[in-house]
Every structure is written in C-alpha cells, then in structure tokens.
Chain A
Amino acid sequence: MHSTITNHADAAIDFNLDEPRVDWHDKTLWFIREKRDMASHNIPEWEELREYASQIKNNVLSNLSQYLQEFEEKAKANGIIVHWAADAEEHNKIVHSILQKHNIDRMVKSKSMLTEECGLNEYLEANGVEVIDTDLGERIVQLAKEPPSHIVLPCIHKKKEEIGELFHQYLGTEKGASDPKYLTAAAREHLRETFLTRRAALTGVNFAIAETGEFVVSTNEGNADMGAHLADVHIACMGIEKVLPKQHHLGVFLRLLARSATGQPITTYSSHFKVPQPHQEMHIVFVDNGRSVHLGKDDFRNSLKCIRCAACMNTCPVYRRSGGHSYHNAVAGPIGSILTPNFDMRANKDLPFASTLCGSCSNVCPVKIDIHDQLYKWRQVLMKEGLGPTTKNASMKMMGWVLSKPALYDISGKAARLVLKYTPFVVSNKLNPWYKQREMPAPPKESFKEWYKKNRS
C-alpha cells in the first residue's frame, strides 16, 4: 500500500479509495489520542509540566553550542567516542567507517528517526552492510520494503493479516495466521537469534544530558538494550537538538514523553548509557543536517523542541485520514509538515497546506510547539517565495485587489461567486471539488446587505 506520490493531496485521494480502511486507521489512532487524554488528565500539574518542558527546551536552543560542548567533554571523560556530522552523508559515512574499522558487515538497529531521515539503511546496504531493524513495527515495514508511516508506531497502517502474510513469507509462520501474540512470538525468536550474533548495535537517543555526559534511550520492547549490551560496538546517533542541560530535567521529560505518545506513564525501559562496558566501544554521532540553519529562523526554530512523541500525529484529523506515507518524509503529520520545509522547501511545499489549522496539534504537544501557527507562517513563506501554482498566484492577487474595492465588490455582485471564481483549484479543475461529495448552499432571495438597506438604513 506504500504510495510513491509526493503530493499530499494526491496521496490522500489514494488513501481514501478504501473508506472502511480509513475508518479503521482513524479509529486506531484516535484510540491512542484517548489514552493520551486519560494519562495526561490524571496529572493535575500536566499543563505546568508542558510549560517547564517548553522553557527547558527554549533554554537549550538559546545555549545549544555550550551544551553540546559540555556534553561532548563529559561523554569523552566517560569513555564515549564523539563524532560530528554536518549532514546525512557525513553521518552515514561515519557509521560505516566505525563498522569497517571492526570488520563488521551485519548490524542491529533500534528505532532512530534520525537514521530514517539520513537514509542510513539504504546507504549501508549499498555498501554491503546488512541492517536489521529490531523494533517489531520497524522490522515489519522493513520486511515489507516500506518506510515507517508513524514515528512511534511504524506499521500502524498495516493490518494483522498483511503482517501475517509477510511473516509467512519471511519468517515461516503458518499461512493465514494473524494472531498478534503468535506473530510477536515468531518475531521474538527470529530477532533473539539476531541479537545474539551481531557485534554492532545502533540506537537513537531520546535525551542527552550535558551535566553528566549520559544519554537516555526509551523503548517498550527492550530491543535497544538487547542490541547495545550484547554488541562489541554501540553507536548512538542523535540530532544536535536532543541535549538537555541537567539530569533532573529528565524528571519532566520522562513524565511527558510516554504519556503523550501512547498514554503509558513511562515506557517499559528508560536506559541511561553513561560509560561503555569494559570490552565495548561506545560512539555518539551528533548530526546537524540543517538544524543549525533552522535554529536561526525566529518563526520556525521552535520546532526543534520536538521530542518525537507523535501526539500531534495521533490527534491530527488529517493525518488519521491520509496516513503517514502521504507526507512523503521520515517524520509525517503536523510536526513533519513544519520540519521538512526547512530541509527542502520546494519538495515539501504541499505539506503546510495539509492541515485545516484546527490547532489540536499545538494543544497536545508536550513541549508546546506552536505547530499550527507555524503551518500558517510556512504558507506565507512558501507563497512569497513564488512556490504557488501560477494560476493561484494570479487569482489571489486579483482577489486581494477586488476585495479592497467595495464598489468593484458590489458590482461583482455575489461575493460567493467571487470567492468561487478566484479561489485556487476551483478554476483550474473542470469539476469543482466542492460538488464531488457536497451540495452548495441554496442561494437566498436577497443578500443581507440588500435586506439591511431596506430594513435599517
């Protein structure tokens, strides 16, 4: 079902061809939103926690260079090897060179959205390194040769019958079997063998603490730990924005993260990696990949506060009805729509428009990113850059002009006719999209203005 369409609206049309499936996708994610509500409404100080988290992240962004250096110094003193990557390519090369140094051509990897962003798997595979994703959801989409559709629940778009078919094909489970317990048990056996035989493990980083030089990885499955503790080489990759000043700040963030993500009070495992095991090498790769430029944008730097909980995706009525792949990026949904134009404005110019600006995303965000306001601001930036369709540019100019001239507006008669005439996409399509599934309002005898003139003035 993976779509290769790179325009959200078109991909959404595809996704909506199977309405019962859209309903299923919507309900599954809404259920998670409801669990998030229950978990957060049980904490009387929830809104204060969000404010603390927001302020801590504001402080991080305003002192990022110092915190990065402080973390580096402490991590080195702890025996961790620190690398710096300017972009995705350098990141991939660094990871590959570490593996080459140890003559390793097979690696396990736990969830890291950063490596998705950098296309690490593809790079390593092209260079003869086998990567096995160990998060169950990620393993499923890896077998299906698809990208994850959600940053916390990578295969939320897949039905258990489809997963059963994949497992039958690749893991030898019974044909037609789709019981989640049975399938998970099969994956457990398959991946246990993998954990025991791989000498290198890559993990993401949820939080890195400048004060102590440790980093925290959160999982429910324990796959990050199974990989990292059994390997000779542990590589942890992190975006430079993931650093926190103080250890006790984890108290705030670990209370918020899982509750926002899945409604759990905390993930099963919150592992604090500080000093490598005696026989082991531990690496950290700091990745910029556009973040430092992003940091300089007053209107948009806030999105670097993101802790990748995906609450904004679960609550987004558009995401739930268009699916993660329609955002054609590693990070989908509302947060993806404000992060990705930083990387490539032209390729992602559709995404800030894939929203009704309802604002629910900003309300669930545990670090209070003004997501829907940024979507609005991105629209202004993109259109000012001239990235809108020519017809839309012209019609909006015309509309702005007519609406500034009351006499012209009156002559044009019905404002609605004007709006329809100059509203983008209506003119460029043979069939007005409004009518596809909706009726237009019945025109009344007279406008309010006409009534008012007769009855009041």
Chain B
Amino acid sequence: MSSRENILKEVLKNQPPDRALPVIDVAVTTTHAEWIEALKVRLDILHVTVHEVADYSAIKTILQQEAIPQERTVTTIEALSDVSTYIDSVKEDAHSLEDVDLAIIPAHFGVAENGAMWVTDSLIQYRVLPFITQQLAVVVSKNNIVYNMHQAYEKIAGTNYDFGVFIAGPSKTADIEQSLVLGAHGPKGMTLFLLG
C-alpha cells in the first residue's frame, strides 16, 4: 500500500467522532468613517506613509514631487502610465525586476483592523513585484475599506485568483534582539494612497 493510502487509513481509523463546525458571527458596530480612522492609526504604527487623494492626478503630483530621476519605477495601474513604466502583462523573466526602486500597484481592498491590503496576481502581473521592489506604493479606494478579516473573506469568497496576498506594511524583522528593522528582504518602505 502506498503512503497515501496508509496515512488516510490510519487517520480515518483514529479520527474521533464528528464535531460540528461553529457558526462564526462577529458583529461590527462601528461605522465606515471610523474604519478609515482606525486604518490610518494602524498604518501609522506599521510605518506606512498615507496620502488621502481625490483622484489619480493627485497621486501623480505627489509621485512627481517625490520622484528621483534615476530611479526605476514601475506601475500596474494604467492611469499612472505617463509617470511610471506601465506593466500590463508578464513579458520577461521576473528576475529582471531586481533593480526596481518603486512599484505602484492597486489593491482590491484594505482591512482597517490590521492595515492589510488584499492584492492578487491580476493586479500585479508578476507575483514577486511587491516583494522585490525597494519601495512599494499601494492605491486603494476609500470605499473598499472593510473593518475586519471576517468581512475581508466575505469579499474574497468566490473571486478568482491564482495567487493572493495580504500586505500590511513594509517587509520587517525583529529577529536581532527584538529590534524592529524595516526592509528585511522586501520593500524598505510603503506608501498608501487612499483614493476618494
């Protein structure tokens, strides 16, 4: 018998009688405006720079003000293609992104309680993009902020993605004596554009 059959047989033999799944019911009593405030507080703790912007032209203005000419910036947002190299599909080996200084990507939605942004491969083309870049900027609509992770998975349910990731701030580590250091392997810094 193969290991697969052996394991399944042993597990079936030894698993206890059925225990029911709970019905998960976590009430959210706060308002959307309060979630936005909670999100901003959380992002501040996560060392994320937040810009509240009305539209993409406001984002462009900020990007142009802060841009350093020699930096390689890429974006997967068509509306920003005139200020940054636009990536609309996978054309090269992902390793070619190793010298990206700034990547500007959209998020489907954000979660106020933990500052996490939900991003899937259709929004970033290259899965490694939000990790390999030195700096990350994420654009999310204010309308697309939920409060907690239960609401987040309600939004995710039934959607199609091959890879998805919650991103909550820049890459970090505290492995050396619990001292927080940003930029362990991934981005050293993160900016969030709250749109609308």
Q: Residues of A with Cβ closer than 8 Å to B?
A: 28, 31-32, 45, 48-49, 51-52, 55-56, 58-59, 61-65, 68-69, 84-86, 90, 134-137, 140, 153-156, 159-160, 163, 180-181, 183-185, 187-188, 191-192, 195-196, 220-223, 225-226, 229-230, 240, 245-252, 254-255, 262, 264-278, 286, 288, 292-293, 295-296, 298, 301
Contacts and interface: CB of A to CB of B under 8 A. Distances in A.
Interface residues of B, number: 69
Given A251-B148, A272-B163, A225 B177 contact: no
B17 interface: yes
Given A64-B15, A270-B116, A295-B15, A221 B184 contact: yes
A266 B131 contact: no
Interface string B137-168: 00000000000111011101100011111111
A221 B186 contact: yes
A406 to B, nearest CB: 43
Contacts of B167: 268-269
28 contacts: A59-B20, A63-B18, A65-B15, A136-B173, A153-B174, A184-B173, A188-B183, A191-B185, A220-B174, A221-B172, A221-B173, A222-B171, A222-B185, A222-B186, A223-B184, A225-B186, A226-B131, A248-B153, A249-B24, A251-B149, A252-B24, A266-B111, A267-B168, A271-B163, A271-B164, A277-B162, A293-B14, A296-B13
Contact of B114 (A223, A266, A295): A266
Contacts of A191: 185
A273 B165 CA distance: 9
B49 to A, nearest CB: 16
B16 interface: yes
Interface in B43-85: none
A62 B176 CA distance: 40
A252 B154 CA distance: 12
B15 A184 contact: no
B175 A229 contact: no
Among B13, B22, B113, B157, the one with the most A-chain Cβ atoms within 10 Å of its Cβ is B22
Interface in B2-22: 2-4, 6-8, 10-22
B4 to A, nearest CB: 4
Interface in B81-115: 90, 94-95, 98, 111, 113-115
B132 interface: yes
Contacts of B16: 61-62, 295, 298, 301
B150 A140 contact: no
Contacts of A229: 94, 126-128, 131
B189 interface: no
B181 A184 contact: yes
Nearest to A183: B176
Contacts of B128: 225-226, 229-230
Contacts of A267: 168
A269 B190 CA distance: 13
Nearest to A258: B114
B127 A31 contact: no
A56 B127 contact: no
A266 B166 contact: yes
Contacts of B148: 251, 255
B178 interface: yes
A90 B154 CA distance: 39
Contacts of A255: 113-114, 148-149
A265 B114 contact: yes
B24 A248 contact: yes
Given A270-B165, A286-B7, A184 B184 contact: yes
B42 interface: yes
A318 to B, nearest CB: 20
A288 to B, nearest CB: 5
Given A69-B8, A251-B150, A296 B19 contact: no
Nearest to A167: B176
A51 B6 CA distance: 32
A188 B185 contact: yes
A298 B16 CA distance: 8
A185 B172 CA distance: 11
Given A226-B132, A265-B114, A288 B10 contact: yes
A245 to B, nearest CB: 6
A296 B11 CA distance: 8
Contact of B11 (A68, A160, A251): A68
A240 B185 contact: no
Given A55-B21, A62-B17, A196-B95, A220 B7 contact: no
Given A56-B22, A296-B13, A248 B154 contact: yes
B184 A250 contact: no
A236 B81 CA distance: 36
B171 A55 contact: no
Contacts of B165: 225, 269-272
Among A134, A191, A267, the one with the most B-chain Cβ atoms within 10 Å of its Cβ is A267
B31 interface: no
Contacts of A184: 173, 176, 181, 183-184
B4 A84 contact: yes
A272 B164 contact: yes
Contact of A196 (B3, B98, B114): B98
B177 A159 contact: yes
